Structures are given as C-alpha cells and as structure tokens.
Amino acid sequence: MTRIIADISISLDGFVTGPDPSPEHGLGVGGEALHTWAFSDDPDDRRLLREATARSGAVVLGRRLFDLVDGPDGWDDTTGYGAGEVGKPAFVVVTSSVPESVRLTGLDWRFVTTGVADAVAVARERAQAASSAGGKDLDVVIMGGGATIGSAFDAGLVDVLSLHLAPVLLGSGTPLFTGTAPRTLVQRGVTPTSTATHLLYDVL
C-alpha cells in the first residue's frame, strides 16, 4: 500500500527554517542546525535516513524548495535527496508555473500547477508504478517546504508524519503548522540519537 508521508526536520520551537530564508540561504539564519542529523555518523541517524529514502517511490516538494535544489548551489551527485542511499525517485513539484529550464536534467521531474492535491495524486501514481516495477511497496514522501507540507496536512492528504526534532531554538522562521485544524495523531515511534529525536506518527 502506498502511503503519503510528510517528512521534515523541525526545531524545538516549531520552525522548519531559521529567520530570513533566501535563495542564497534556503534554511535561513541558523537553519543548518535542523539537518545536522542527516549528515551525522550516528548509526541510528544513518539507519533512519537509509530506511526513509529506500521506501520513496516519489517525492513531492514546493516550488521554492525546487528553486533551491535546482539552483547553482543546490544538489549534485554527492548531495541531495537520499544521495548515496537510493536510486532516483520521481520528483513532483507544486508550482504556479513551470520553470523555463531545469539544471538537474538527470532526475525525473513533474510540475503540477493545479495544487497540492493534484501533485500528491501524480506522485501516488508514480510511486505505485515504481512499486509494481520493483516488486515492493513504495511511498510518496512530501519533503517540504513547510508550506507544502502544511497545505497537504490541512487538506487531509497525509497518512504519516515523520518529524526530526533538532535540539535548537530558532526564535523565528518558517513555522510548520499555522492555524491547523485539530487532528489526532497516533505515536508509532520515538528514536533519540546524538543529534535529534526522530518522531513518527500515524495521522487519523
């Protein structure tokens, strides 16, 4: 079964970037601390990253995040989604307009201009096709940014919420949840490591 998993790093005070994010500093001031776990040598951090990326049949992201990862200082062969861990899942971008060009032409990009629900539907189709081809269940991972995950969560599209709680207070920045309707979560996993506390919830 293909699940829709929202997966993102977050500070103790609820921010997924630091203050003043920009094209040059996508995570804002101090925001790099949110992703320390993803580059650590802690065996549990490595295992969780490997397991999460291995189940990715398609990945959804917003246009602002796409512009960062496809920009001149963005992803390359050694950095990026699941670098060194998985193959190349399909990437589905929620955007109001299709970019004129793409730098990372070696990745499978789909651009959806009709909203997050349609983007998730396209990603589900891609993940299910990859599941059939590979003979194992793969999921859709919504990797961000915060507005994209928040919109998907508010629309009731998310089955699983995976948070990587970084031991940092950013003070301000991009919040993950703003005016979210009440929602019941069922805790499925808590894994403390040297760099973060990894939290897994089913969304009811």
pLDDT tens for each residue of 100-159: 999 988 889 999 999 999 999 999 999 999 999 989 999 999 998 899 999 999 999 999
The rounded mean pLDDT for the chain is 92
pLDDT(7) > 90: yes
CATH 3.50.50.60 fits 4-16+45-203, yes or no: no
Question: What's the pLDDT tens digit per position in 192-204?
Answer: 999 999 999 999 9
Angle at CA of residue 194, ends 190 and 196, nearest 5°: 50
> Is-cis flag, bond preceding 145, omega within 30?
yes
CB neighbourhood size of 172 (10 A): 13
Burial of 173 (0-12, 13-18, 19+ CB in 10 A): buried
Q: What is the distance, to the nearest Å, from the Cα of residue 10 to the centroid of all Cα atoms in its chain?
A: 11
| Mean predicted confidence (pLDDT) in 72-83 | 75
- Claim: this prediction has a pTM higher than 0.75: yes
